[in-house]
Structures are given as C-alpha cells and as structure tokens.
C-alpha cells in the first residue's frame, strides 16, 4: 500500500488515502508477454486512524461506512486517461475502508465489519513503549489484522484470491504478509 496523510480539520473523516496494488484476478494467456505492472491492479484506500484507550467500537465501523459512501457519491465516475498516483478521485477503481487502531477491536466491532457490504480491512497496531523502539525504522508490533467478505470473499474485491498470513522467521520473530495466487508478499 502507498498511503499519504491527509487528515486534519475538515478532512471528511479520512486520515490516510492512497492506493493498494494487488495481483490481477485474471491470468494472462502468455505470462512472458506481460510486464510486472500490468499484472497488478489498483484499489483505492481510504483510512481512519484511532488512538484511544478504550476498545474500538462498532460506531467507528458505521462512521467509516458513511465516509466511504459519501466519498464515492461525491467523486466523478468518468474514467481519466492517465490518473496519477496522487489523484484524489476514485474514477472506476474499487475502494476499501481501512481502520487502524491502537486499541483492540470488540467482538461487536468485528461482527459489524464482517456483515458490512463495504470492503473493510481492520488493523490493530498496539502502542509500543518508547523503550521498545530502539531504532527509527524498526518494525511496529502487529496486534491483529482482519478483513471482511466484501474485501476478501469470492465475490469481494480480492475475489477470494488473497489471504493474510503470519510469516515466522528462524530467529523467532515474524511479520505479516499476504498471499495471493501462489506468491507471498
């Protein structure tokens, strides 16, 4: 994902926005005739970030549903010839809602997101103590990652072709990754 910070006063409920490049759902007839970029498709990402002590409630899911629907209703649906990476219009690209929280998600939050027709990706990034972070650029601890059927299901944006994985290293650590079409990224 390539996201940039846009949050602030009058941000319309969007803290981060950008693009997620994922593998195409179709397989080319001649894989040698297709370059790397044309094998990827672009998904618009609209994100909200919450840093609160209380658990993440379903109200935030409902709020983000409204933000995504409003954004889709107020952007043009005509297709530009060459949209840029910084383009703020959705055009005909699919969109997902990303919710990032320092606090854990409640069961009712997960159930609400799971039942939503909006493609949701929920990411729990727990706050780390300052002494846990020794060097700038160190990885951030991942609490949990969750996406709903509107995003990951067979009829969702990802067409059932990708899943979230946790890769463990021999040194005892690990990192989140997604796997799709036989590749891990």
Cβ-contact 167, 185 below 8 angstroms? no
3-state helix, strand, coil in the chain (%, to 5): 20, 30, 50
* Mean pLDDT confidence for 13-18: 92
Residue 137, pLDDT > 60, answer no
Distances in whole angstroms, Cα of residue 107 to Cα of each of 147, 150, 153, 178: 14, 18, 20, 23
Looking at residue 12, its pLDDT comes to 81
Buried/exposed code over 115-125 (b: 16+ C-beta within 10 A; e: otherwise): ebebbbbbbbb
Looking at residue 26, its pLDDT comes to 60
The predicted-structure confidence for 35-51, as pLDDT tens digits, reads as follows: 555 677 889 999 999 98
* Mean pLDDT confidence for 165-182: 72
* Number of structural domains found in the chain: 1
Residue 56, pLDDT > 70, answer yes
Percent of the chain with pLDDT over 90: 38
* Mean pLDDT confidence for 72-92: 55
What are the tokens at 78? 């005509």
49, containing H or E segment? strand 40-50
Residue 96, pLDDT > 70, answer yes
- In three-state secondary structure terms, 149 is helix
Looking at residue 163, its pLDDT comes to 83
Lowest mean pLDDT among 5-19, 79-93, 109-123: 79-93
What are the tokens at 161? 């072709």
* CA 19/CA 2 separation, integer angstroms: 5
Q: Would the pTM count as exceeding 0.85?
A: no
* Mean pLDDT confidence for 152-179: 81
| pLDDT grade for 172, boundaries at 50, 70 and 90 | confident
* Mean pLDDT confidence for 134-152: 74
What range defines the domain where residue 25 resides? 2-129+138-184
Angle at 133 between CA 131 and CA 135, to 5 degrees: 125
* CA 120/CA 164 separation, integer angstroms: 13
Looking at residue 81, its pLDDT comes to 43
Looking at residue 92, its pLDDT comes to 73
* CA 44/CA 90 separation, integer angstroms: 7
Residue 97, pLDDT > 50, answer yes
| Mean pLDDT of the chain, nearest integer | 78
């Amino acid at each position: 994902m390539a996201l940039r910070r846009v949050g602030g006063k009058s941000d319309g409920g969007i803290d981060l926005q950008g693009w997620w490049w994922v593998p195409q759902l179709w397989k080319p007839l001649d894989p040698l005739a297709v370059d790397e970029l044309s094998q990827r498709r672009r998904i618009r990402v609209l994100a909200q970030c919450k840093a609160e002590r209380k658990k993440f409630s379903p109200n935030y899911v409902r709020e983000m549903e409204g933000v995504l629907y409003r954004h889709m209703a107020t952007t043009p649906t005509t297709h530009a010839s060459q949209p840029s990476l910084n383009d703020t219009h959705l055009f005909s690209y699919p969109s997902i809602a990303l919710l990032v929280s320092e606090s854990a998600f409640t069961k009712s939050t997960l159930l609400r997101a799971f039942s939503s027709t909006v493609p949701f990706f929920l990411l729990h990034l727990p706050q780390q103590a300052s002494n846990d972070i020794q060097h700038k650029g160190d990885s951030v601890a991942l609490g949990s990652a969750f996406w709903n059927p509107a995003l990951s299901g067979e009829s969702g944006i990802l067409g059932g072709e990708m899943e979230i994985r946790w890769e463990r290293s021999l040194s005892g650590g690990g990192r989140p990754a997604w796997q799709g079409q036989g590749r891990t990224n």
